[in-house]
Amino acid sequence: MKKRSRSTEVILSTDSINVVYQESLIALQNVSLDIPAAKLTAILGPSGCGKTTLLKVIAGLIKPTSGSVKVRGKEIEGPGPDRALVFQDFALLPWATVLQNVGFGLRARGVPKKERDETSLHYIKEVGLLGFEDKYPHQLSGGMRQRTGLARALTINSDILLMDEPFSAVDEQMRRKLQEDLLNLLKVENKTVIFVTHSIEEAVYLADQVIILSGRPGSVAEIVYPKIDRTGEIDLIRRQPGYIDLVDEIWSSLKKYVE
Amino acid sequence: MQKSPFWSLIFWAGVWEFVGQMQWMTLLPPLSGIWFAFAELFQQSAFWDAFIMTARTFGIGLSLSIVVGIPIGILMGISSRADKILSVWVNLFLSAPITAVIPALMPILGIADATVIATVILFSIWVVIIDTQAGVTHVKDSLVEMGKIFGCSRSKIIFWIVIPSAMPEIITGIRLSVVRAVKGVIVGQIVIALIGFGGLFSTYLSYFLMERFWALIIVVFIMSFTIIGLVEMLERRIAFYAKSR
Ligand SMILES: Nc1ncnc2c1ncn2[C@@H]1O[C@H](COP(=O)(O)OP(=O)(O)O)[C@@H](O)[C@H]1O
Ligand SMILES: [Mg+2]
């Protein structure tokens, strides 16, 4: 578990964030983070430790009780075009087709229909949903719904992609496929990804930096930098010698927060 | 025995005919006599005047209930302050015996269309409000957050996300309000007893024209069931949409 030299630019940082719900429930305590640009950061922790809260603070959906979030040194005021969010429950409009759902962000910005559809189709193709653009969410599998949510987040071309347990609502095989596809996609799209998960394997497999949150109240317990070579075949990542060791190490440090 | 509403209807029509023929009750003529009364009824200009008046007051009252009820329901769904102020009244009127209020309306609005329209509204608006509000408060949080993430203004969130999400409940509210408006328009006229079908009913009763009286009741029933049936058919066509949520 060696700290990697941090040569990359910090694109987003949080400064001593505290979130208190209903005057007594402390969800986050003093969370300060640096998120490196163009890397995949995983936020890992037991359920209920404040992962979603942290991601929503970063997204600008929740105002922290104290502390601030900065993107490229500038404090955020709320949601912004520099950050897109992929939802755990997909958050698709059930009355809209895949094409309309994917184009939602562009429509909100007033992009004309023709241009909107062109851009949407480009990303529908990129996430592997070509041919499904006229289907409704209820006609899609869980994996396809999340691909739709991902394509929608990609259309607005934000540098930072926030994902809240994006693959937790799909089955194991589909999860693996989506993870592989995400890694492949990130080779094409130059994105900073902040990824919430409760799966140690998923964090180690996908992330360049894993932020481990302690149990309630959530605070940063540890940060690890998996030294996994992702340049080669994706299938080989799980066979690399460091992979299993790191999963075990993280488990032993996380164990004490799981009751 | 076959279980079908048709046979049941035939059976009870037979009972009616028998009881009528026996002349046990002066108020109940034999069913066969009523068939001739239909033809008489449809030849009366008073019937058609009452019909048009009923259609007009029903249409205006129901439209106002829907057009006013939906925005109020939306407002109560998105603003807890509006909810606090209004929900007491909405819930009170939702279950109150509205019929008792009609005599109080007459001196204010006169013995005319306005009183019947007010009755229709008082019968039908509350359920539109309540169902719209329920639809709006049950909109998934993540959809609203999604709207915010993509920079939607408040009005875009309401028109693009909240209202379409609440549509199944709104449609249910409209269906129930049609049923209540049908009751309202008839009850209103009967309580006033001087205009529309209410006027006809009391005329027929006071002149002992029992065949026409019953023919009119059957016509009113058939009209009500036709309208309610049409609305239910319409709701089923939109039902797929509710299921896909
Ligand atoms: N809107 C809210 N109001 C009150 N408490 C909340 C709210 N959202 C989350 N919590 C509480 O805050 C804690 C952290 O929640 P969350 O961020 O969803 O955790 P995680 O995503 O890690 O499972 C939990 O105890 C949860 O019950
Ligand atoms: Mg969560």
Pocket test for ligand 1, best of A24, A25, A51 (most atoms within 8 A of CB): A25
Distances (CA, A) of A255 to A3, A213, A242: 22, 12, 20
Q: How far is A220 from chain B (nearest CA, A)?
A: 26
Cis peptide before A217 (omega within 30 of 0): yes
Asked if the ipTM is above 0.90, the reply is no
A6 pLDDT higher than 70 = no
Q: What is the pLDDT of residue B96?
A: 84
What are phi and psi for residue A254, nearest 5 degrees? -85, -25
Instruction: Write down the domain spans for chain B.
Output: 64-243
Q: What angle do CA A223, A227, A229 make, to 5 degrees?
A: 145
Distance CA A71, CA A156 (A): 17
Convert the pLDDT of each residue in B167-182 to its tens digit: 989 989 999 999 999 9
Q: Which residue has the tokens 């993540």?
A: B142
A60, part of any domain: yes
Domain-embedded: residue A99: no
Q: What is the rounded distance in angstroms from the CA atom of residue B107 to the CA atom of residue B145?
A: 51
**Residue A183 within a domain:** yes
- In a domain, residue A106? The reply is no
Element (H, E) at A133: none
Q: In this predicted model, which residue has the larger pLDDT, A66 or B212? A: A66
Contact by Cβ (8 Å): A157, A95: no
Residue A141 alpha carbon to ligand 2 centre in Å: 22
Q: Round to the nearest angstrom and report the end-to-end CA distance of chain A.
A: 25
pLDDT at residue B238 in the model: 73
Class of domain B64-243: mainly alpha
Strand order in the sheet with A25-36: A25-36, A10-21, A66-71, A74-75
Residue A218 within any structural domain of the chain: yes
Long-range pairs of B22-31 with CB within 8 A, sequence gap ≥ 24: B26/B208, B26/B210, B27/B210, B28/B210, B28/B214, B29/B210, B29/B211, B29/B214
Contact predicate B50/B32, CB 8 Å: no
User: Is residue A3 over pLDDT 50?
Assistant: no
Q: State the total domains in chain A.
A: 1
From the CA of A51, the nearest ligand is 1
Q: Is the CB of A91 inside 8 Å of chain B's CB atoms?
A: yes
- Cβ count within 10 A of residue A111: 18
Residues of B in contact with A84 (CB under 8 A): 149
- Domain that includes residue A181, residue range: 10-82+158-257
A4 — pLDDT class (breaks 50, 70, 90): very low
Mean pLDDT of the region A210-232: 83
Enter the pTM of the model: 0.83
> Considering CB atoms only, which of B142, B149, B152 is closest to A89?
B142
Q: Nearest CA to A65 among A34, A14, A33, A23?
A: A23
What's the CATH number where A215 sits? 3.40.50.300
B161 CB neighbour count, 10 Å cutoff: 22
